[in-house]
């Protein structure tokens, strides 16, 4: 169990690959909510006011701060930007400036492609995973 004094944020990764972020006061509240969601999915019940089918949960990443707040000021070191540009133009004779601009802009974006089917969608480093018995 991860000890917490303040609220925590959980990135909930569902079996279908979608994610959501929720804020809880502690691990106990997070586990209770996540287990309720997962139980709803296992028993083919709906979830939330939209009454859509509930989704099974694959993994839950824990953060001290909202992972969407990663690099909120939108800045990077010049070394990071130069290294990224170098990689983007390597072996290219003609550079698509719009694509390069978009790629540089994406460097500061808080989200990323996941590293695996149930990987995090955020660049922020999680403080742990919520241990569940699903």
Q: What is the pLDDT of residues 35-51, one digit of tens each?
A: 999 999 999 998 877 88
pLDDT of residue 134 exceeding 90: no
Which of the four pLDDT bands, split at 50, 70 and 90, describes residue 4? very low
- Give the chain as a 3 state SS string: CCCCCCCEEEEEEECCCCEEEEEECCHHHHHHHHHHHHHHHHCCCEECCCCEECCCEEEEEEECCCHHHCCCCCCCCHHHHHHHHHHHHCCCCCCCHHHHHHHHHHHCCCECCCCCCCCCCECCCCCEECCCCC
Q: What is the pLDDT of residue 1?
A: 46
């Amino acid at each position: 169990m991860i000890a917490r004094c303040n609220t925590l944020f959980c990135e909930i990764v569902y079996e279908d690959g979608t994610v959501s972020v929720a804020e809880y006061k502690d691990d106990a509240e997070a586990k209770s909510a996540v287990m309720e969601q997962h139980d709803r999915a296992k028993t083919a019940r709906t979830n939330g006011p939209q009454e859509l089918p509930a989704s099974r949960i694959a993994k839950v990443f824990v953060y001290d701060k909202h992972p969407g707040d990663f690099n909120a000021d939108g800045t990077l070191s010049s070394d990071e930007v130069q290294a990224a540009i170098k990689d983007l133009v390597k072996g290219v004779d003609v550079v698509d400036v719009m694509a390069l601009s978009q790629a540089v802009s994406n460097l500061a974006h808080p989200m990323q492609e996941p590293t695996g089917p149930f990987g995090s969608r955020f660049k922020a480093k999680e403080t742990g995973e919520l241990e569940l018995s699903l």
